Structure 1
Amino acid sequence: MSTNPFLRLLGLGKDDGRLPSSVRADRAVELVRDGAALVDVRENHEWKTGHAPQALHIPLAQISGAPRRLKADQQVVVMCHSGMRSRTAATQLRKLGFDATSVSGGIGAWQAAGGAVRR
Structure 2
Amino acid sequence: MFGFLKKLLGLPDGIRAQEAQALVKAGNAVILDVRTPAERKAMHIPGSTHLPLDDLSGKASKLPKEKTIICQCASGMRSASAAKQLAAQGFTTLNLSGGIASWQAAGLPTK
TM-score over 0.5 for the pair: yes
Instruction: Quote the residue 1:87 is aligned against.
Output: 80
Matched residue type, 1:28: A
Instruction: Quote the residue 2:102 is aligned against.
Output: 109
Percent of aligned pairs with the same amino acid: 42
Gaps of at least 5 residues in structure 2 are none
Q: Distance in 1 between matches of 2:39 and 2:90?
A: 28
Instruction: Quote the residue 2:61 is aligned against.
Output: 68
Instruction: Quote the residue 1:100 is aligned against.
Output: 93
Q: Distance in 2 between matches of 1:88 and 1:94?
A: 10
Gaps of at least 5 residues in structure 1 are 14-19
Shift in alpha-carbon separation, 1:26–1:45, aligned structure 2, 3 A: same
1:115 aligns to what SS in structure 2?
coil
**1:27-85 Cα shifts (integer Å, max 9, x gaps):** 11212222211100001110110101211110011111343321111111010000000
Q: Which has the larger radius of gyration?
A: 1
Q: Distance in 2 between matches of 1:49 and 1:65?
A: 25
Q: What's the C-alpha RMSD, in Å, of the aligned pairs?
A: 2.0
Equivalent position to 1:28, from 17, 20, 23: 20
After TM superposition, the score normalised by the length of structure 2 is 0.84
Equivalent position to 1:41, from 22, 34, 42: 34
Instruction: Quote the residue 1:16 is aligned against.
Output: none
After TM superposition, the score normalised by the length of structure 1 is 0.79
Q: Distance in 1 between matches of 2:105 and 2:21?
A: 10
Matched residue type, 1:85: R
